[in-house]
Amino acid sequence: MKMPGGTPAPPPNAAKRRRIPTEDVGYRHHTRGMATNWAAFAAAEPDLATTVEQRFRAFPHHVLVTLRGDGSPRTTGLEVRFLNGELWLGMMPGSLKALDLRRDPRFALQANPGPDTAMAGGDARIAGRAVEVEDPEVKGAYVKEVEPPQPFHLFRTELTEVVRTFVEDDTFLVVQVWKPGEPVRTLRRA
């Protein structure tokens, strides 16, 4: 079968087999290559970093979003660790989320909102790239601190965005957005 202009039509299942490109996808041109670790973010914006870290430390389980092979989102539960200036993601061996991150390192991480609607400290979200760590020395240091079940996948994060949303004075919805190389932008909506 031919398409208009004489081009052959793709097979019916071509969309399923097509690989999703990851370079330059999902990042603004000016932030590409400017990802940073947790320590650099905390040094640049200590108040926001402290509040966001407290939100993640308040509860053990959070929601991780990765990209499946077809580009659709996958949401899964995850525990995170803040150690030695890094935000770490540990996963069971062969888990789908680990395989997703190996294929496409982009992720979003949503803090657990807690058991009610109070959301003390607001809502927190982190986006970036997850880089798998295979260095035995680095993994060994992590194991000493965390004592995870083994074997496991370990990912170090490179942040591309940190967002905090909260209600101020029962009047304003406040959104704080940080990106590498930029100051925190604060948006208020009545």
Q: How many CB atoms lie within 10 A of CB 79?
A: 16
Task: Look at residue 34 in the predicted model and tell me its pLDDT.
Answer: 72
Task: Express each pLDDT in 24-60 by its tens digit.
Answer: 444 333 444 578 999 999 999 999 999 999 999 999 9
User: Which of these, 54, 35, 39, 159, lies nearest to 109 by C-alpha position?
Assistant: 159
The span from the CA of 130 to the CA of 187, in Å, is 28
Name the residue ranges covered by the structural domains of the chain.
Answer: 26-162
Strand partners, 110: 63, 125
| pLDDT for residue 85 | 96
- Closest by CA position to 159, among listed 116, 131, 127, 182: 127
The more confidently predicted of residues 88 and 22 is 88
User: Using only C-alpha atoms, what is the Rg of the chain?
Assistant: 19
CATH class of 26-162: mainly beta
User: Residue 114: what pLDDT?
Assistant: 83
